């Protein structure tokens, strides 16, 4: 995409809108929008905000919001994985894997505060650890994870 300056962003928005409009004119009835268009819209939603992008591109606000949230979560996981693995992976030779963190609400995305958090870690040797706690309760997840993946549990 672009650097995020006003002119580049407006041009990006119009370019993606043109691509989506072209797809709408040529699609078969009820066909899902191609993933590359969703990825482009998601990137703009992260930069400009979900509401203005969904309005300008005429996309479903809730779907775009969910895709933006998922994208941000994937980016956060990747950053956290870099912190968790770092030099420790090179020392052990065994790749560490962070098992998925989920926050679910019974009434849709983000409509209720999370009351309980559950975190599960698993090592290649089959060892697992699950932590359940109140959402407002804090602990050092990075230290716990590093110790677990080093085999200190």
Percentage of the residues of the chain whose pLDDT score is greater than 90: 33
The residue whose two tokens read 């775009």 is 64
Beta carbons within 8 Å of 121's beta carbon, 6+ residues apart: 98, 99, 128, 129, 130, 144, 145, 148, 149
Residue 113 in this model has a pLDDT that exceeds 60: no
Per-residue pLDDT tens digits for 119-136: 788 877 778 888 877 666
Domain limits, the chain: 6-59, 87-150
> How much is the pLDDT for 74?
80
> How much is the pLDDT for 75?
81
pLDDT band at 94 (very low <50, low <70, confident <90, very high): low
Mean pLDDT, the chain, integer: 76
């Amino acid at each position: 995409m672009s650097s995020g300056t006003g002119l580049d962003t407006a041009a990006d928005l119009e370019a993606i809108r043109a691509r989506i409009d072209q797809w709408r004119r040529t699609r078969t009835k009820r066909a899902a929008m191609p993933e590359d268009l969703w990825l482009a819209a998601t990137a703009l939603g992260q930069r400009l905000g979900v509401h203005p992008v969904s309005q300008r591109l005429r996309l479903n606000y809730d779907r775009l919001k969910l895709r933006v949230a998922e994208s941000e979560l994937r980016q956060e996981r990747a950053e956290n994985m870099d912190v968790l693995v770092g030099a420790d992976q090179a020392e052990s030779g065994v790749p560490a894997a962070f098992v998925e963190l989920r926050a679910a609400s019974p009434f849709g995305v983000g409509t209720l505060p999370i009351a309980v958090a559950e975190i599960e870690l698993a090592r290649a040797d089959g060892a697992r650890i699950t932590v359940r706690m109140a959402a407002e309760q804090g602990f050092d997840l990075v230290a716990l994870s590093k110790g677990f993946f080093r085999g200190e549990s």
